[in-house]
Amino acid sequence: SIPDYPYELSSYPSDCGDLFMDSLYLYVTTGGVEIMDISNPEYPEGIGYCSCYGQDIFSFNNFIFTTATMFSFGVELIDKTIPSSPILVGEYHGSFYEYGYKMDIFAIGNYVYLTCEDSGLGIIDISEPTTPSLISSLVTPRPAYGVFVVDSYAYIAASDYGLCVIDVSNPYYPYIAGYYNWDGVAVAEKVYIRGQYAYVAALTGGLYIFDISHFSGISESETKIPKKLVISAYPNPFNSSCAITALAGADVEIYNLRGNVIVTPFGSAKAEPLSPLSRGTGRSAGEGQGFFIWTPDKSISSGIYLVRATMDDGRTTERKIVYLR
């Protein structure tokens, strides 16, 4: 109540790992999950406990969500309808979370958003709480630590990369919409969003505050609003040719899921592509846009590929496309 003179009002004997608070209760990971009544802050009281492997914690509607990192990787769903008797009702453990012990979690609507160090972002459908399922994933440029979701965007604290913004408007096809790369000057660990600002805790680097009102090339001081860098692809999935539209002037490259470039821009000075990405001539992509056509040759197998567009000012974005032979 007096910001320049905070003092300890009470304490509670527990091995607290992470915590989340709503209008009624405090939820704490303690090797399991403990529900605490803090209606009287001077006398916090533990009223319910659920045994699980929970490390990071988030609560939304009638459920508590925790990351599971002790013996397996994934998410646990705990029904808190009866706070004195929380029940583990569903779990997801999958191959996406194979590497890294640092995780974070955010839940909203029918989806849980999980980050896992070297695996990036995973989106899990929880519309059926007893059988949660992974519907998509995206490997981030650097290890993914903290996550916070607002509207159609997931904001990722991406280690020494800084802040990564992922468009999740279609949860089945997330793609990178913007980023801020601070070249390893700090390690982004946690992120919190309020209004048009992102607050990033960067361990020994301190606190960074970003203006996120525009997602195409986030800057701490840039006042000029850049044109939004987006990619469209049609048809998608495709089995012959795919028309790719990006902002005029962008270098367009196509990668496989191993991170290898398989197609380079038309007229680029880079290595010879394995199959052609030609500049479109038969139709207009609209003012201020570039138009390319990719027609995979026989050396290209069916699968998922990433289209990446990069501007001279360093802005970049990606889109997932599916080739079916």
- Give pLDDT tens digits for 251-288: 788 888 877 888 775 544 444 444 556 655 444 444 44
- Give pLDDT tens digits for 187-244: 889 999 998 899 999 988 889 898 888 654 444 444 344 455 567 777 888 888 888 8
Burial of residue 281, with CB atoms counted within 10 A of its CB: 0-12 exposed, 13-18 middle, 19 or more buried: exposed
What is the pLDDT, as a whole number, of residue 241?
A: 84
> How much is the average pLDDT of 158-170?
88
Query: Maximum distance among all alpha carbons in the chain?
Result: 73
What is the pLDDT, as a whole number, of residue 27?
A: 95
* Positive or negative: CA dihedral 104, 151, 168, 207: negative
With beta carbons less than 8 A apart as the criterion, state whether 122 and 112 touch. Answer: no
> How much is the average pLDDT of 33-45?
93
What is the pLDDT, as a whole number, of residue 77?
A: 95
Determine what percent of the chain is predicted with pLDDT higher than 70: 80
- Give pLDDT tens digits for 91-150: 988 755 544 567 899 999 999 999 887 778 989 999 999 999 988 888 887 888 999 999
With beta carbons less than 8 A apart as the criterion, state whether 227 and 247 touch. Answer: yes
What is the pLDDT, as a whole number, of residue 229?
A: 59
Give every CB contact of residue 223 below 8 A, 6+ residues apart in sequence: none
What is the pLDDT, as a whole number, of residue 269?
A: 43
pLDDT higher than 70, residue 249: no
Could you give the angle at the alpha carbon of 21 between the alpha carbons of 18 and 23, nearest 5°?
175
Mean pLDDT score across all residues of the chain:
81
What is the pLDDT, as a whole number, of residue 295?
A: 85
Strand partners, 92: 75
- 79 or 264, higher pLDDT: 79
> How much is the average pLDDT of 76-103?
81
What is the pLDDT, as a whole number, of residue 233?
A: 79
pLDDT higher than 80, residue 167: yes
Of 27-31, 133-137, 246-250, 279-283, least confident by mean pLDDT is: 279-283
**Strands laid side by side in the 111-116 sheet:** 103-108, 111-116, 120-125, 133-138
What is the pLDDT, as a whole number, of residue 21?
A: 93
Q: Which of these, 141, 142, 103, lies nearest to 124 by C-alpha position?
A: 103
